Chains A and B, each alone.
Chain A
Amino acid sequence: MVSRVTTPDDPAVDSLRLAEDVLGQALKAGASEAEVLVTGDDSYLTRFANSEIHQNVAETNRSVNLRFVDGKRIAVLSSGRTDDEGLRNLVERAAAIAKTVEELDDWAGLPGPADGITVQPAATWAAPTADATPELRAEGVRAVIAAADAAGVVAYGSFSTGEDSIAVANSAGIRAAERRSSSQLITVHMSPGGGNGYAEMVSMDVSTIDAAAIGREAATKARASDNAVGLAPGDYPVVLEEYAVVDITDMLGYLGFSALAVQEGRSFVEPGKRIGSDLVTIVDDGADAAGLPMSFDYEGVGKERVMLVQHGICRGVVYDSQTAARDGRRSTGHGLPAPNPYGPFPLNTVMSAGATSRDDLIGGLDRGLLVTRFHYTNPVHPKLAIITGMTRDGTFLVEDGKIVGPVRNLRYTQSYLDALAGVSAVSSTRKTIKGFLGGAVIPAVRIDAWTFTGATEH
């Protein structure tokens, strides 16, 4: 059993109790196997724009997801109703539907407690985050706005806090329960001179978020990017800040580092294939305390530390129980809630730091661009990981190792694999960022060539 009880009133304990109750009902209703995932959510988000709070929300939610197996026939039902009648209906309906669907001929069964190797994080939850109040978030927002006011710029962003409880019980013996917390403060500051600046801080523990520092970082960047000038598209060396690099690691995780993508022939991953320079090492590590840790996946399988890229060489991909069974191996603990036609994903990406200071990253550019962040990225050619997107919130021309001024935003159409191969320096410091796949720990990088294919007016 993977269980991390934090306090006697830990909602994960109650969620596990509920999961076991529904599991018992499913087995009584004739399930040959069953899995119950219970998720609870208490989340809050304070949003600001034009240097004032304009949206401010709270959500309390709980949901039960039942995977009902009848031989090799499977139905998945979920419900937000957790009263007796709601749960009874859920089980009865699942049993009825499971009888009507076709068999999955390669169904390998639900995972058991011995089917994963857990690397236990030190902690997944922090009381200050769970206890965060609307007043605390407003105080943080006011600090960000004060920094913007001091610089004569305007603040836009959000400050979120929340906790989840996750519990999984299945008929193969898995019992997993955990309480997780996360907080995030992001801001875009906009200057009257047209400049924009971005800053972000993510933490399991909200008390470590320094709102004033975030405000100052974005304000400085916004002022520095005033009066940007146009630059002709073309190939330029770049320094990508952490906020941009996370799009590379997430997109490669989405397109390639999934066992299902490999099994379907749509991944670029081949074990032993070089896809990056020696400086590139990427793992998925649910136990890394710098990220947003988690002990197990949505099938209740313990999360294994998976080496994805080691010194530029492809080493592995992540598995859930079904993709693992197809390859005759164990799950790495990267399953998503059933049913999941998308396959497993790395949700805790950690890229190794290098040895280069931030100043030296920029100092190593003869003529190139410093990019703060990317916007609206999308695959153009998934198997080659060719992605298009825009720069945003601070793009600067660098000459002879020094920033000479801001440039207007550029469009790129660039293979992220070629980008990894061109990494010539990695920063010695890293940031924790929420990418689209989850919490990631990411350095800044210098890349020898980046293909910009268009320009815009700001």
Chain B
Amino acid sequence: MRDLTDRALDTANSLGAEYADVRVVRRLEESISVKTGRVEGVAIGETEGFGIRVLVDGAWGFASSNRLESGEADRVAGLAVRIAKASATALRNRVVLDSRPAAHGTYETPLTEDPFTVPLETKIDDLVTADRLAAEVKGIAFTESMYAAQREWKTFAATDGSFVEQTITHIGAGLEANAIEGDEHQRRSYPDAGGGYSAAGYEFIRSLNLKDHAEAYAEEAVALLSAPQCEPGRKTIILDPSQLYLQLHESCGHPSELDRVFGTEASYAGTSFLTTDKLDEGFRYGSDQITIVADATAVHGMGTFGWDDEGVAAQAVPLVKEGIFVGYLSSRETAPRIGRQSGGAMRADGWNRIPLIRMTNVNLLPVPGKSLDEIVADTDDGLYLASNRSWSIDDRRLNFQFATEVAYEIKGGKKGRLFKNPTYTGITYEFWRSCDAVADERSFVMLGTPNCGKGEPGQTGHVGHAVSGARFRNVQVGVGKW
């Protein structure tokens, strides 16, 4: 591998690049999809290639290829330089990177049971058994279950002498039970909508214990068909970790990306309300219950690694401290513009994409004191919302609206009857300021999403979120009419 990376970097250097880095990535993926008790698809995919990023005349160029050959390395390096020179014809500010020590070393996701050596029959059986239990519940129209594992072997090398090798493994599974009656379509998902994910081995799938939860979730999907509609009003809500993580993702993770703040995602995903003046002024993002850290070292997080994709070591970066906005997700290019060093958040979706600022593991830290159950017990009148069904937020990450699969009424400190079609909406900072209780570490759990979209051409990121559950006051619930 070193021959190829050296060749690419040498060629880029000889053609005038003032800086270059190259990533060689091999990705192996395995997935199983089951629908209503039968295996619909078993798929295994493998892709490998390399991408070269160069700085020429202060402008970026990038080119990539799936052909791991020395001649191709020359061609692709030459193309990257030519592209950078074209970029320089429409450049107003030369790119300046922060300094960092050259990166050296290896990293591997810690795991117990390698998912790629567990027999396929075992994985299919675990999934089909659970799916059939859900499908057999009376009133279920169809079920869908999935298993997915991904392993990446990544080599990063740069003209500053950096050379890093990493092996990252992610795994996930989940089941979804669907009940349909007339125009009503209700769904319950375990462990989360879209499945539960972790940086781990097959031991994570075993810990989910899908089959022991299948029937209960399916029964709840059926029960939702005849449950009353979640009525509109301003209410106290408690977000289960299965919803809170996505709230955190959309309304804290994305607006904290410094490239969005500087406008470089403006034409696609949008910008951010967290402008740099808010960092300087100590903007109150949330209540004093809210402390958020982007932690690329967290155990089992899908945003955990040894080094990011421009060779910056993994670190924990505070974003919000006791409600005050204190930091961004950043890169070597963006951090110097606010007088800081990169927080190590540059991640690329494979060999054929450039690294972008992405979430690592954006975690809402637990607050010692009350467990999630004790917060429910401390709530006279409210709703407990679980498992995401729909999400949307404006292009500056202010106005959001979420729907969850289920709401449980809370009366006198107890969870009671179900409501269907719950939604809630708000303005990001008003919502986080309305939080009066974050649960303690007893329900603190690392969740994640494997489908975070960003960039042009599109990239899909795997990110983690550890949360424990939290309570919010005076939230607008029940949007829309049907």
Contact = CB atoms under 8 A, between A and B. Distances in A.
Interface in B430-476: 456-457
Interface in A388-404: 388-390, 392
19 contacts: A43-B457, A46-B87, A56-B59, A60-B65, A75-B42, A76-B41, A77-B43, A77-B44, A97-B44, A102-B38, A133-B86, A339-B43, A341-B33, A381-B185, A384-B183, A411-B392, A411-B401, A453-B425, A453-B479
A340 B91 CA distance: 43
A145 interface: yes
Contacts of A341: 33, 35, 40-41, 144
A455 B399 contact: yes
B270 A62 contact: no
Given A80-B66, A451-B480, A53 B90 contact: yes
B481 interface: yes
A289 B269 CA distance: 30
Contacts of A134: 61, 82-83, 85-87
A76 B482 contact: no
Given A60-B64, A97-B44, A100-B124, 4 more contacts: A57-B457, A58-B83, A376-B393, A388-B392
Contact of A78 (B43, B93, B265): B43
Contacts of A104: 38-40
Contacts of B227: none
Given A102-B124, A413-B401, A58 B44 contact: no
Contacts of A101: 39, 42, 120, 124
A152 interface: no
B479 A340 contact: no
B92 interface: yes
A390 B392 contact: yes
Q: Which of A160, A186, A340, A381 has the largest number of chain B CB atoms within 10 A? A: A381
Contact of A378 (B85, B86, B391, B395): B391
B231 interface: no
Contact of B86 (A49, A135, A145, A156): A135
B82 to A, nearest CB: 6
A329 interface: no
Q: Among B38, B59, B87, B273, find the residue whose CB has the most chain A CB atoms closer than 10 A.
A: B87
A456 interface: yes
A7 interface: no
A88 interface: no
A124 interface: no
A106 B91 CA distance: 58
Interface string A93-122: 100010011101100000000000000000
A80 B47 contact: yes
B427 A80 contact: no
A326 interface: no
B99 interface: no
Given A186-B267, A265-B141, A56 B392 contact: no
A142 B90 contact: yes
Chain B residues touching A, range: 35 or more
A376 B395 contact: yes
Contacts of A340: 41
B90 A48 contact: yes
Contacts of A102: 38-39, 124, 128
Nearest to A54: B264
Contacts of B266: 49, 156, 188, 190
A353 B46 CA distance: 44
Nearest to A187: B267
Nearest to B64: A59
A49 B263 contact: yes
Contacts of B390: 378-380, 388
A386 B79 CA distance: 46
Contact of B396 (A77, A338, A411, A458): A458
B48 interface: yes
Nearest to B144: A341
Given A46-B87, A97-B44, A158 B456 contact: yes
A392 B64 contact: no
Given A97-B42, A97-B44, A142-B89, A58 B480 contact: no
Nearest to B27: A80
A71 interface: no
B167 to A, nearest CB: 18
A175 interface: no
Contacts of B392: 376-378, 388-390, 411
A264 B398 contact: no
Nearest to B69: A83
A76 B267 contact: no
A265 B90 contact: no
B354 interface: yes
Nearest to B270: A375
A202 to B, nearest CB: 14
A446 interface: no
Contacts of A359: none
A135 B395 CA distance: 31
A382 interface: yes
Interface string B364-398: 00000000000000000000000001111111101
B48 A80 contact: yes
Contacts of A43: 457
Contacts of B280: none
